[in-house]
Structure 1
Amino acid sequence: MESWYLLFCKAKQELRAQTNLQNQGFEVFFPEHKIERIVKGRRSIKTSPLFPNYLFIKLNTQNCNFSAVKNTRGVSGFVAYGTKFQIVPEQLISQLRSFETACEVKSDLPKTGDVVYLNTESFKNVQAIYQEPDGDMRSILLVNLLNKQVTVSVENKEISL
């Protein structure tokens, strides 16, 4: 009988563990999601683990060499309660897989209509309303100056939520 187990990996070595386990012929699942961020003033999409330091592995409970899995590079060991390794229900793995495929890019960036603050020398802590991106490194904001709303294009690194 095959079951899914939860593995704990060494820090930031999930992909290494996944590759080494797959090379040994094991079925491994490492759920990830995409996050959109501003890095050095540029919009970028980064793939990030859904559960950092954890992998799911499908093993035959009758004839699997658990010590070979545990001694794989990048793996710290099995998650266990007492002496029993943690078994993960098949339904949970299915739900995580469907979530991973249906998941859209999560964004830490402001959305149209969000209130932001400018951090430039001329507009220190001035409140503005985010309108839309203006290329990779700039955004268009609506700023209230002298009781008149003005549209301004500023660098992304000069905006804070």
Structure 2
Amino acid sequence: MESWYLVTCKPRQEERAATNLLNQGIEVFYPKLTTEKLVKGRRTIKQSALFPNYLFVCLESQNGNFSAVKNTRGIGGFVSYGASYQLVSEHIMNLLQNERSHTTESKIPKTGDVVSIINESFNNIQAIYKEPDGDMRSILLINLLNQKIEMSVDNKEIVAEKKHSY
């Protein structure tokens, strides 16, 4: 019977370890997190390990090649409790693998998008997204007293409404 085990990787070597295990014919699950950041005013998309320094491997409980996994480049060893290796339940693996298949839409609006501001001062006021203002804030155009005014707002206070083209 095959079971999923948790293994540690050497720092920042998850990709290397996963590739080496796959080359040996060992099933590996390496969940990645896609993040979008602003670097020097530009959006960059980066993938990183959801669980840094950890991989999931699927092996036969009785006849699995545990020594091959332990001796693979990039692997630190199995996570164990006492004398037994840590098993990961099938339920948890299914949840993680199903979550990976869902794609999430970027939370940072694009220029021209209509957004709502949700803070104490401007609750439910509609604005037009103009541009990022660092990593945590954005510049919006709001219509205040029949004038378009630029203001910088924390990204947590912005909710995208619908696409608006100008």
For the aligned pair, the TM-score class normalised by the smaller chain equals: 0.7 to 0.9
**Within 5 A, what are the aligned runs for 1:66-105?**
66-105=66-105
Which residue does the alignment assign to 1:45? 45
**What does residue 140 of structure 2 align with?**
141
Is there any run of 5+ residues in structure 1 with no aligned partner, and where?
A: 117-128
The two structures, once aligned, show a CA RMSD in angstroms of: 3.2
- The answer on whether the counterparts of 2:140 and 2:153 sit within 8 Å (CA) in structure 1 is no
Residue 148 of structure 2 is aligned to residue 150 of structure 1: yes
Q: Distance in 2 between matches of 1:130 and 1:144?
A: 7
CA distance in 2, matches of 1:45, 1:12: 18
In structure 2, list runs of 5 or more residues that go unmatched: 120-125, 156-166
Using the TM superposition, give the Cα deviation of residue 30 of structure 1 relative to its aligned residue in structure 2, in angstroms: 0.5
Q: Which has the higher contact order (CA 8 A, sep 6+)?
A: 1
Alignment of 1:26-65 (within 5 A): 26-65=26-65
Deviations along 1:13-56, whole A, 9 cap, x unmatched? 00000000000000000011222221111112222221111100
Contact 1:32–1:47 (8 Å) recurs in 2:
yes
TM-score of the pair, normalised by structure 2: 0.70
Looking at structure 2, the residues matched to 80 and 114 of structure 1 have their Cα atoms a distance apart, in angstroms, of 48
Identity %: 48
